[in-house]
Structure 1
Amino acid sequence: MKQAAATVAIVLAGVAILALLHWTTPGYAVLTGPIEIAGRQEAPAETAEFSLKVDKLILSELLVFQRYGKKVERGTGGIWAVITADASATHRTLLLAGVALRGASGRIYMQSPRVDGLSQLLSGKELQPGLQQRGLFVFELPADELPGAELVVSREAFPRLTSQLAMSLNEGSAIRRTVLEIGRDPL
């Protein structure tokens, strides 16, 4: 009888330990996720593959720009966040495929497809080692997502076990405009 009780106790302790290990072990996505490097606006940050310096955050309700020779106006129910930045590759030519804005709630906002064709966009441009490339990142998001927002940039669209920059943005120093005319207004 004592031996059966001891066996049951050992089995229950083993089950409890396995359950504890199961609940506390991070998932596969966390284990193989990006290696995040923190940075802040107006200070250069660098990964093993590229460097980035966020210059300005410009907030606007209406964007005006030239696309394929035609004037385009884009309004929004939220706010446009236009980020000016300088980027360069470190060792080899590359593209920045993973560009997003992480809002205050933790939600991820990808670059707006409503500004595709804008020649000043930094994403999609080849970065060369040692040569600074200046450009824009453009996001459309609710205004309440701006406090504490971060620009998240990586070489791959869905990075796994590679570097990813998380640049904190300073909403207090943001330039606010009702209408932002890209290509005409100084950025």
Structure 2
Amino acid sequence: MSRLANLVAVVLGGGMLGTMMNTLPGYDSSFQPFAVHSDENGVGQGRLFTAELIGLSSAGAVSYTRYGKNVVRDTSATFLVAELSISAREESRQVEAIWLGATGRQYNQSARLEDAPRVLSEARFEPGLTDRPLAVFELPDDEIAGGRLVLMARGSMLMDSAVHFAPPASAPEKQAMLRLGP
């Protein structure tokens, strides 16, 4: 009887350990910025910055002027441009953006447009001063409606806040060409 009890204890312990390993969240999902949702006016206030989503626009191509030359970028997907208003709260800060698509995929800002004017990846925000940067994403059309914009302080701020904006009710009307200006 003693061997049977030991065997049952080992089997139950192994089963419980296997269940715990498969149901506990991993490190990546445990240590994430905590979500702060924007209000009904589209204004979100994180611990280190305040941001407002002014508008979304989409296009098949984007143009801008760089060093006196006209630059045109096109895509087989869609450029989604989020116009923002951001200010730091207590100290100089940089902010990064991601787009959480309707399917749950995460999209970073397009690296092909880092030299465009007013892009968020190049902006630095100061307390008391408001700037109006653009976050530009390159993504499939079906990821826009039902997706959401998320802003967080740049750097390893895992246990800090991330501002989540409400998803758009519908995708913005896609333009053939969108001009980005200073």
Aligned 8 A contact 1:146 1:171 in 2: no
Larger mean Cα displacement after TM superposition, 133-142 or 5-14? 5-14
Percent of aligned positions that are identical:
27
Separation of aligned partners in 2, 1:82 and 1:31: 30
Separation of aligned partners in 1, 2:3 and 2:167: 63
Residue equivalent to 2:122: 124
**1:1-187 maps to which residues of 2 (within 5 A)?**
2-39=1-38, 42-96=41-95, 98-157=96-155, 159-170=157-168, 172=170, 174-183=172-181
SS at match of 2:70: strand
SS at match of 2:118: coil
AA of the residue aligned to 2:141: A
Separation of aligned partners in 2, 1:157 and 1:61: 31
Separation of aligned partners in 1, 2:112 and 2:51: 24
Aligned 8 A contact 2:42 2:165 in 1: no
SS at match of 2:176: strand
Post-superposition CA distance 1:20-55 (Å, at most 9, x none): 222221111112222222337851001111111101
AA of the residue aligned to 1:109: Y
AA of the residue aligned to 2:81: V
User: What is the CA distance between 1:157 and its match in structure 2?
Assistant: 4.9
AA of the residue aligned to 1:128: E
Post-superposition CA distance 1:106-156 (Å, at most 9, x none): 222221122222222133211111221112111111111112111122112
Separation of aligned partners in 1, 2:78 and 2:169: 13
Q: Structure 2 length as normaliser, TM-score?
A: 0.89
AA of the residue aligned to 2:113: V
Separation of aligned partners in 1, 2:121 and 2:46: 17
Q: Structure 1 length as normaliser, TM-score?
A: 0.87
How many residues are matched?
Answer: 182
Compared CA separation, residues 41 and 85, structure 1 to 2 (3 A): farther
SS at match of 1:123: helix
User: What is the CA distance between 1:101 and its match in structure 2?
Assistant: 1.4
AA of the residue aligned to 2:170: G
Aligned 8 A contact 2:114 2:121 in 1: no
Compared CA separation, residues 68 and 42, structure 1 to 2 (3 A): farther
AA of the residue aligned to 2:131: Q
Compared CA separation, residues 124 and 48, structure 1 to 2 (3 A): same
SS at match of 1:83: strand
Separation of aligned partners in 1, 2:115 and 2:31: 34
Separation of aligned partners in 2, 1:100 and 1:40: 19
Separation of aligned partners in 2, 1:42 and 1:178: 29
AA of the residue aligned to 1:76: T
